């Protein structure tokens, strides 16, 4: 139970440099990368209540979905190992079988059973019929969708918002977050805060609907601003400009980002700040959603 009962909030740090100060913006970083060494960042927030629910419902195994670079699979494998729950990962891409990358090797080392499927099969991951079949096949495990994004995930993410509001003694004008499935953005919105969401994938406009769907039933959610241009070629794609930005960011602020999510988000956010997108006096909390195990050597 220790894994899930964090008592102290993750740090909130002020970031300032000439660009930020000139824009008159107060920028903070919420260090959720420090929430746990393996179950890091938003994955810990999003999994917390699903894992408790799995335990309460007496399930012995968890099944979930992810791609080769999935921080969610990584976090689920580590959490399952820590909590004594079996884990099963449905992995996108048959070609990965026998060809694991570091993320999938970590999952395996934490005894996650990896089940590789074709991209066509993976596309059915949210269909009722498919989920029923998979559930039968694996002995009715506790099922968590891709990215862990469920209504229970929203509740976990909303706790991060409460921590920040306590730390600042007020709500910030905006939260900024990197976005993959939209669960984190939806969680912050569900806590009635406005969100700047930076898509980590190409063609991220669909996220608007996905986030709306996750928010169904939420009371007066915050406003969403979705930025889809800072994807650097697509999911898990990057170039030298992004890698240089990540190195410069670390040199300037002493904080490590990675190239799949948080590097793209901060690149976009600082670009908006420089371009005068925000009124002077605006307070922004950018969430460091973790994912550092996926950092490539630069
Ligand atoms: C998964 C992940 C995201 C995306 O979160 P969603 O809730 O799926 O939008 C952002 N940052 C990091 C580091 C992640 O691992």
Among 85, 119, 148, the domain boundary falls at 148
Do 276 and 177 lie in one domain? The reply is yes
Do 75 and 135 lie in one domain? The reply is yes
Q: Which residue CA neighbors atom 10 of ligand 1 most closely?
A: 178
Least confident of 76-90, 95-109, 267-281: 95-109
Question: Considering the domain boundaries, does residue 4 fall inside one?
Answer: no
Do 159 and 31 lie in one domain? The reply is yes
CB of 294 within 6 A of ligand 1: the answer is: no
Q: Which of 182, 184, 231, 288 for mutating ligand 1's site (highest number of atoms within 8 Å of CB)?
A: 184
Task: Tell me what pLDDT residue 60 has.
Answer: 95
Q: What is the CATH number of the domain that holds 52?
A: 3.40.50.1100
Do 163 and 17 lie in one domain? The reply is yes
Task: Tell me what pLDDT residue 181 has.
Answer: 95
Question: Considering the domain boundaries, does residue 154 fall inside one?
Answer: yes
Question: Considering the domain boundaries, does residue 63 fall inside one?
Answer: yes
Do 288 and 180 lie in one domain? The reply is yes
CB of 222 within 6 A of ligand 1: the answer is: no
CA 159 to centroid of chain Cα atoms? 15
Do 232 and 142 lie in one domain? The reply is no
Q: Which of 42, 106, 200, 210 for mutating ligand 1's site (highest number of atoms within 8 Å of CB)?
A: 42
Q: Which of 36, 71, 158, 295 for mutating ligand 1's site (highest number of atoms within 8 Å of CB)?
A: 71
For residue 1, pLDDT beyond 70: no
Question: Considering the domain boundaries, does residue 227 fall inside one?
Answer: yes
Question: Considering the domain boundaries, does residue 53 fall inside one?
Answer: yes
Do 81 and 143 lie in one domain? The reply is yes
What is the CA(179)–ligand 1 centre distance, in A?
Answer: 6
pLDDT category of residue 55 using cuts at 50, 70 and 90: very high
CB of 291 within 6 A of ligand 1: the answer is: yes
pLDDT category of residue 2 using cuts at 50, 70 and 90: confident
- Tell me what percent of the residues of the chain surpass a pLDDT of 90: 91
Task: Tell me what pLDDT residue 141 has.
Answer: 98
CB of 71 within 6 A of ligand 1: the answer is: yes
The CA-atom distances, in angstroms, between 165 and each of 45, 111, 170 are 16, 38, 5
What is the CA(178)–ligand 1 centre distance, in A?
Answer: 6
Token reading at 297: 């050597």
Among 111, 132, 148, the domain boundary falls at 148
Question: Considering the domain boundaries, does residue 1 fall inside one?
Answer: no
What is the CA(154)–ligand 1 centre distance, in A?
Answer: 13
Task: Tell me what pLDDT residue 298 has.
Answer: 79
Among 91, 114, 148, the domain boundary falls at 148
Q: Which residues lie closer than 8 Å to 25 by C-beta, 6 or more apart?
A: 273, 278, 280, 281, 282, 283, 284
Do 55 and 201 lie in one domain? The reply is no
pTM over 0.85: yes
Do 270 and 154 lie in one domain? The reply is yes
Do 141 and 167 lie in one domain? The reply is no
Question: Considering the domain boundaries, does residue 6 fall inside one?
Answer: no
Question: Considering the domain boundaries, does residue 7 fall inside one?
Answer: no
For residue 113, pLDDT beyond 60: yes
What is the CA(57)–ligand 1 centre distance, in A?
Answer: 27
Task: Tell me what pLDDT residue 41 has.
Answer: 93
Total structural domains within the chain:
2
The C-alpha atoms of residue 211 and residue 183 are separated, in whole angstroms, by 7
Do 23 and 167 lie in one domain? The reply is yes
Do 232 and 211 lie in one domain? The reply is yes
Domain that holds residue 83: 42-148
pLDDT category of residue 175 using cuts at 50, 70 and 90: very high
Token reading at 18: 């000439």
């Amino acid at each position: 139970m220790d894994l899930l009962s964090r008592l102290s909030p993750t740090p909130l740090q002020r970031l300032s440099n000439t660009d930020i100060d000139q824009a008159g913006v107060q920028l903070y970083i919420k260090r959720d990368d420090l929430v746990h060494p393996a179950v890091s960042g938003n994955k810990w927030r999003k999994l917390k209540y699903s894992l408790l629910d799995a335990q309460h419902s007496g399930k012995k195994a968890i099944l979930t979905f992810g791609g080769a670079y999935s921080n969610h699979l990584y976090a689920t494998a580590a959490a399952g190992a820590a909590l004594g729950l079996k884990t099963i990962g449905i992995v996108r891409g048959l070609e990965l079988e026998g060809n694991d990358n570091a993320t999938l090797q970590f999952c395996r080392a934490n005894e996650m059973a990896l089940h590789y499927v074709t991209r066509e099969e993976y596309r059915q991951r949210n269909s009722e019929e498919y989920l029923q079949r998979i559930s039968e096949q694996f002995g009715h495990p506790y099922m968590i969708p891709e990215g862990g994004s469920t209504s229970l995930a929203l509740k976990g993410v909303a706790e991060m918002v409460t921590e920040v509001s306590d730390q600042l003694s007020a709500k910030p004008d905006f939260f900024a977050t990197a976005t993959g499935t939209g669960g984190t953005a939806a969680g912050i919105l569900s806590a009635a805060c406005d969100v700047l969401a930076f898509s980590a994938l190409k063609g991220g406009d669909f996220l608007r609907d996905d986030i709306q769907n996750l928010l169904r039933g939420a009371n007066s959610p915050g406003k969403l601003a979705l930025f889809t241009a800072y994807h650097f070629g697509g999911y898990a794609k990057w170039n030298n400009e992004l890698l240089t930005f990540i190195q410069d960011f670390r040199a300037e602020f002493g904080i490590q980002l990675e190239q799949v999510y948080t590097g793209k988000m901060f690149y976009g956010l600082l670009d908006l700040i420089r371009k005068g997108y925000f009124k002077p006096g605006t307070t922004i909390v950018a969430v460091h959603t973790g994912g550092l195990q996926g950092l490539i050597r630069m």
